[in-house]
Structure 1
Amino acid sequence: MGLTTRSVALLCCTTALFLLPSAAAAGGGSEEWGYVQVRPKAHMFWWLYRSPQRVNNGSTPWPTVLWLQGGPGASGVGYGNFMEIGPLDTDLKPRAFTWLSKADLLFVDNPVGTGFSYVEGGNRTLLARTDAEAARDLTTLLCRLYSRTDTRLQLQGSPLYIVAESYGGKFAVTTALAALNAIHAGRLAANLAGVALGNSWISPEDSVLSWGPLLYQVSRLDENGLNLCDRLAQQIKAQVMATQFLEAENTWQGLETVVLQEANSVDFYNFLKDDSSSDAALTSATMQRQMRSLASLGRRTRRRYSSYLSSKVTMEGGFEGLMNTVIKNKLRIIPKNVTWREQSDDVFDALAGDFMKPRIEEVDELLKLGVNVTIYSGQLDLICATKGTLDWVQKLKWDGLKNFTSSPRVPLYCNGGKADGTQAFLKSYKNLKFYWILGAGHMVSN
């Protein structure tokens, strides 16, 4: 389930509409990386690529994209970089389509404890416990990188776009608001040009409510399976409304297991496929035992994201092997006692209290402040299904919502134009854009 030429080309097309520059000139690219101590004993790793096609003509400065991965606890420096939008693929060969054609790329292992980011002594009490704490750490990093005394990075004047995937969407909206506060206070010398939310976990309640009906409509569930899923989804809704977020996460873990059982191990990232991970290959008896052990379920659920990563690399040791040998040796600054992992269970556990909290109000606030917000959704995603995303959008209190809803939806074509068929739809009004990306899954990659 790797990146396909079609889906990456399509995402590059939509990115071209999201970012301002459209012309490119030949030039030399470069890269920088390092650590920022965002709090005492808490160190965040970043990696910046400057585009070889960089243009700065004054009127439309060359933009910078801050990419935030999901999980929470999955590595943007690893996954987003080498498997999605960076200059090299997992064979360390040039990628045919990279967002570097439109922007400089800043990858961050966020929150601390993810990927190459770390806390000293492995002290779990230093991990971020809320989305807001993670946002403060990210904003601290941005303040340091955009510091006017650090001209080496040349970020000043570059419009900043925060682009996120999955749970990273919650980090994106909270970080955008924290960054705006820092900008207004004079601590961050940046221009926040926009936020993009890709298949984002903005409203867990709306996502899970969409699972049963969607799987029923595409024949992965029968009526019995639909009723089982809907009953648990309604329970999650009630728990979220009662602010019982830990209980809602437990029920969510149980719902995922019921979906796997009733839909015969459907792939949560592409409902047209089966989950090929060993975690999905569970007998009915095993599932029933795990239903009685939600702590075990939580660990299994978290590994699904990382199994998606490791399945892409054939070298011995998989993707973790690549990151902990070739990449770690290249970077040279990673402490010896820091081992890169595809998914940090410690980070996931630390954010348990916030995992099921919605961030719709934060999106609303960004829209009201005039920030450009772009939402894109892969047609075949289940975990953050398009239906659920559309449902939470309708909960916005933004005064442009009615006009947005009634706006026409425009078909989009890439490469061969209409000859290749419709590949996406776009609806927009003022500072809100919504892309339906056809034939794509959760990572807009399958």
Structure 2
Amino acid sequence: MGGITLLLLWLLLPVGVMRCALSADRESDRVAELLGQPANVGFAQYAGYVAVDAAHGRALFYWLVEAAAAEAAPLVLWLNGGPGCSSVGYGASEEIGPFRIRPDGKTLYLNAYSWNNAANLLFLESPAGVGFSYSNTTLDLYTAGDQRTAMDAYAFLVNWFERFPQYKYREFYIAGESYAGHYVPQLAQLIYRKNNETQNPVINLKGFMVGNAVTDDYRDYIGTFEYWWTHGLISDTTYHNLRATCILQSSEHPSEECVKNLNTASAEEGNIDPYSIYTQPCNNTSSLKLSLNGRYPWMSRAYDPCTERYAKIYYNHPEVQRALHANVTGIRYPWDTCSDIVGTYWADSPRSMLPIYRELISAGLRIWVFSGDTDAVVPVTATRYSIDALKLPTLINWHPWYDNGKVGGWSQVYKGLTFVTIAGAGHEVPLHRPRQALILFRHFLQNKPMPQR
């Protein structure tokens, strides 16, 4: 039977029949129990695929972790960056998700500071080629970029809300980190513009939050080199050489001279973890060195604490894949935390997100930016330079915020944007400071300034 005929028959079905079909799809995505899952889990989980491009055969993998009181809680989409890295491997498994993977790679334990204490969490592996997400058109993996990633994520949401209609009109937020500093505002902008084209939008976007976020190439370079120098990671000579050869470069296409100086910086830095400069690396995770085709010259796409190794074991286990309804097409490569192909061949990447910030601030969306202050990859100085470029009026001056009487970090509230630092946290703030990250998240959802006592 032809596709058009099937579509006409579908449209002629009674509403109740269509609802039953959607409900069946949703129930088939329910995760009964994961391998090694602890007992007495008090929340529902769903996972599976949503098609985003039928012609190319692109489908994105999601994992929904509901809050215990799911009906009363907002919905938050979490995206990791790279580009090319998995929100299941990072966000769900070592940052904000409800489970942590033990070193054996086959048992789980609960994360007391999971963000599903406050919201329903939707993790999306994006774009196609990342994690379990796939395309039947191989060329798609070599031509991914910012624009298609945003369009596919939007298509995913539109189709996902049809499968989960109880979340239509629910308060909806987007959050993420690192190169999701591109994904998150770009998707927010697309949703905002699409919503303006309809009288009754089902995606009730209220705002977004990004952490240690790639924001503006020029200011990211300035702030990153300054952080390395002021924290004693590189020499005076290398600092001046980096400023002379890299500042005006596109980070997507650095010159040979810029890369040469970046590699000198890597040698001077030594065997530390640049994603968390005051903690021990898991073996050798020093990762500033790269080749000319690297996406961001100072960024390897994968943060490599030992927890990442456990994820690689766990998500390649056939029983885990069956429980998550993942890898149903028999993908010919193993699940990995990051895709080297997607990241290496990244196509379009605007130099700055600041124009999008200005548009969405004017639209009245809630925007919070946070930064772990021990990250040398996308450091707090880079973020502060980008925020300063927005020239926003200050509503609440720079001040410490507190957790049980101890300084948790610092914050400044601008007109249209709140900035928060988390003391002692690296690139993945919820990994290093889980309790403080949950405090941050709750205050973001409530749109309340960070506690000052």
TM-score bin, normalised by smaller chain:
0.7 to 0.9
1:29-428 alignment, distance < 5 Å:
29-39=43-53, 40=55, 41-54=57-70, 56=72, 62-91=73-102, 92-121=108-137, 123-125=138-140, 129-147=144-162, 150=163, 152=164, 154-186=166-198, 188-231=201-244, 235-240=245-250, 246-248=252-254, 253-273=259-279, 276=282, 278=284, 280=286, 294-295=292-293, 304-306=300-302, 308=304, 311-312=306-307, 318-325=310-317, 326-334=319-327, 335-337=329-331, 339-354=334-349, 357-396=351-390, 401-404=392-395, 407-414=396-403, 417-418=404-405, 421-428=406-413
Taking the aligned partners of 1:226 and 1:294, their CA distance within structure 2 comes to 20
Q: Which amino acid aligns with 1:36?
A: V
CA contact (8 A) 1:132 1:175 kept: no
SS at match of 2:208: strand
Which blocks of at least 5 consecutive residues in structure 2 are unaligned? Answer: 1-40, 103-107, 433-453
Q: CA deviation at 1:277?
A: 5.2
Taking the aligned partners of 2:180 and 2:66, their CA distance within structure 1 comes to 22
Percent sequence identity over aligned pairs:
24
Q: Using structure 2 for the length normalisation, give the TM-score.
A: 0.76
Q: Which amino acid aligns with 2:340?
A: D
CA contact (8 A) 1:380 1:439 kept: yes
CA contact (8 A) 1:164 1:172 kept: yes
Q: CA deviation at 1:249?
A: 7.6
Residues 64 and 352 of structure 1: CA distance in aligned 2, closer, same or farther (over 3 Å): same
CA contact (8 A) 2:80 2:87 kept: yes
CA contact (8 A) 1:111 1:128 kept: no
Taking the aligned partners of 1:67 and 1:177, their CA distance within structure 2 comes to 16
Q: Which amino acid aligns with 1:99?
A: W
Q: CA deviation at 1:213?
A: 2.6
Taking the aligned partners of 1:86 and 1:224, their CA distance within structure 2 comes to 43
CA contact (8 A) 1:124 1:346 kept: no
Taking the aligned partners of 1:138 and 1:225, their CA distance within structure 2 comes to 40
Q: CA deviation at 1:97?
A: 0.9
Which blocks of at least 5 consecutive residues in structure 1 are unaligned? Answer: 1-26, 57-61
CA contact (8 A) 1:112 1:127 kept: no
CA contact (8 A) 1:169 1:201 kept: yes
Taking the aligned partners of 1:136 and 1:425, their CA distance within structure 2 comes to 35
Taking the aligned partners of 1:431 and 1:307, their CA distance within structure 2 comes to 31
Q: CA deviation at 1:250?
A: 6.4
Taking the aligned partners of 2:161 and 2:315, their CA distance within structure 1 comes to 27
The superposition leaves residues 140-169 of structure 1 with CA deviations (integer Å, 9 ceiling, x where unpaired) of 11111223xx3x452123211100100011
- The structure whose residues are more often helix, as a share, is 1
Taking the aligned partners of 2:248 and 2:153, their CA distance within structure 1 comes to 32
Q: CA deviation at 1:257?
A: 2.1
1:18-29 alignment, distance < 5 Å:
28-29=42-43
SS at match of 1:248: coil
Residues 329 and 125 of structure 1: CA distance in aligned 2, closer, same or farther (over 3 Å): closer
The superposition leaves residues 63-100 of structure 1 with CA deviations (integer Å, 9 ceiling, x where unpaired) of 11100001111100221101111111113111121001
Residues 189 and 55 of structure 1: CA distance in aligned 2, closer, same or farther (over 3 Å): closer
Q: Residue 439 of structure 1: which of 417, 424, 432 is its match? A: 424
Q: Using structure 1 for the length normalisation, give the TM-score.
A: 0.78
Q: CA deviation at 1:281?
A: 8.7
CA contact (8 A) 1:246 1:353 kept: no
Instruction: Pick which of 340-349 and 192-201 moved more.
Output: 340-349
CA contact (8 A) 2:93 2:100 kept: yes
The superposition leaves residues 192-212 of structure 1 with CA deviations (integer Å, 9 ceiling, x where unpaired) of 111101100011322222233
Q: Which amino acid aligns with 1:171?
A: Y
Taking the aligned partners of 1:55 and 1:127, their CA distance within structure 2 comes to 40
The superposition leaves residues 396-419 of structure 1 with CA deviations (integer Å, 9 ceiling, x where unpaired) of 26xxx0335xx31232222xx21x
Q: CA deviation at 1:224?
A: 2.5
CA contact (8 A) 1:246 1:352 kept: no
Instruction: Pick which of 152-161 and 375-384 moved more.
Output: 152-161
CA contact (8 A) 1:265 1:274 kept: no
